[in-house]
Amino acid sequence: MPITQNKRKIKVQHVIGEGTAQFDVVRNIQIREAPDAEPVTVRKIADVDAEIVELDYEILPNKVIVKGTLHKQIFYIAEGEYVVREFTVAREDFTDFVHIPGAKPGMDAMVDAQLLFIDTNPANGTFPTDTIHQAAVISVSVKVIELVQLDVVTDVTGPGITVEKDLFKVESVVGEKEKQATIPAEHTLNEDARKIYDIEAVCRDLDYEILPGKVIVRGTLHKQIYYVDDADDTVQEQSFNDEFSVVVDIPGAEPDMDAYIKCKVEFCEANLIGEAPTTRVKSNCILQIFVKVTELVELNIVTNVKGATVDRRRIRVEDIIGKECHQENVNQSIDVNAPDDVEGVLVKKTRNLTARIRNVTYEKIKNKVIVKGVIHVQAYYVACEGDQELRETSADIPFTSFVHFDGVTEDTMVDVTERVEYTDLKLEGESCQTSIIRAIAILEICVRAFEMKDFVVVVDVKEAVKPVIPPTDECPPEGYYTYTIKAGDTLAKVAMMFQNKVPGITWHDILRANPGINPNRLRIGQTIKIPCVVGKG
């Protein structure tokens, strides 16, 4: 009866290594109402909203260079005023590296960055000031991977065959693809423009939805258009947000799978529509969208076959315990008169709420992961007095949540991801009779539990080993077996015969244990030593 084997093709992410690094982004900022205007004298910073965009990397030998951009909105009150104004700092580029032994050019990396802390203070120590000092702390985590495609053996049958298996539960790569998408838009400027000076753009608020065979990537293209004012030749800036949706075809993708997405602005231009001067402008931006879809695969894979010659492959992967998600409703009342320099304000109506999750930490206990953090909300409203101008107030709302996860212990490795699914802003009380608004946010918190595991898997089974050495439970006291050379033997054949006793033994190990023998001139009847431990001799 011949040996038969069943195989399964898998594509897994072989983990070369991973690491983290923290670094500071420190600089002085001058707030200007226009790029060529004089700096504004600021008497107070009301809030700072910041995020990391355009995260990219370059792999060098044993290290990964991480590049990104810090995008900020500074909400300030100018000297002599009480109205909160906004100033956007479009690009603060940063570069640092993470040491990853074994990393090489040509490999892939999964990079994540978090803004741990950001603060702004007067550069001269006191307000009012025309120069703001910023200090931000960024944490970057890097995982270097090599995509490996294997035909692994899932079962073997045949005479005299004994099969050893191990449970294999990993994320198998279903497919990945890059796609370019053009995002056209038309906008109206606040003033007549003589010409376009410049445009900057970044991808923000990325999200995705997986449908059969495709992934829909959604996000916001945040643009800053700089133009020359026709009236006084000053350079003015105006920001626009364009929602986009891009469909990427990934054969085999299904809704219950996971995806890793990236977005990068490759090119962006803006031009006036018609004859100058005009307020009409058209922009065209080209985005590069990357999508990788993975599915959780659970297989019993053959790791060794006694009684046959096998080819094996060692891979280091994340052995997935599982993934669980939990939704958390976070809400809090906010008094718009809470700032020290605001009083007597009543709210006519609410407009919108933006929310970002900050300072996330987690703690593992038996069967649970406790997640803590802060939701930084910015509430926009119209006050009863004034000329219908939009005002802003902000708050940090702490939250504590947990995800129930059977099998999690203090030693389990976990990845925690969180996102804001929904926001709302409501007026508490009657219009123009209350200063209280309620911020509402629904969060999705997901925990993926895993452990790093080295698998030695069988990728092919060849002929049965003949002769088969009778198995012995214990190594002889002298630390080696003995074998008598027969006609047609080579050290390589002998090494294969002893695989069931000394897994992984090679003819080099046997040669080291028998100094003085010539592997090309073995004698029939010659007795040689077979070490019980690979690498010993």
CA distance 43 to 277: 36
Look at residues 14, 212, 7 and name the one whose alpha carbon lies nearest to residue 110: 14
| Lowest pLDDT segment from 240-254, 270-284, 442-456, 462-476 | 462-476
Given a cut of 70, is residue 387 above it in pLDDT?
no
Sorted by sequence, the CB contacts under 8 Å of residue 208 that are 6+ apart come out as 215, 216, 217, 218, 259, 261, 291
The more confidently predicted of residues 294 and 84 is: 294
**pLDDT digits 0-9 by tens, 304-352:** 888 888 888 888 888 888 888 889 999 999 998 876 666 788 999 998 8
**Strand order across the 413-427 sheet:** 308-335, 436-464, 413-427
DSSP letters for 65-87: EEEEEEEEEEEEEETT--S-EEE
Look at residues 293, 295, 271, 298 and name the one whose alpha carbon lies nearest to residue 282: 271
- Measured in whole angstroms, how far is the alpha carbon of residue 148 from the centre of its chain? 20
The more confidently predicted of residues 153 and 386 is: 153
**pLDDT digits 0-9 by tens, 119-139:** 888 988 898 999 999 888 998
Share of the chain above pLDDT 70, in %: 95
- The domain spans of the chain are 1-153, 174-294, 324-451, 466-531
**pLDDT digits 0-9 by tens, 212-230:** 999 999 999 989 899 999 9
Which CATH entry fits the domain spanning 466-531: 3.10.350.10, 3.90.600.10, 3.30.565.10, 3.30.750.210?
3.10.350.10
| Lowest pLDDT segment from 85-89, 107-111, 388-392 | 388-392
Given a cut of 60, is residue 471 above it in pLDDT?
no
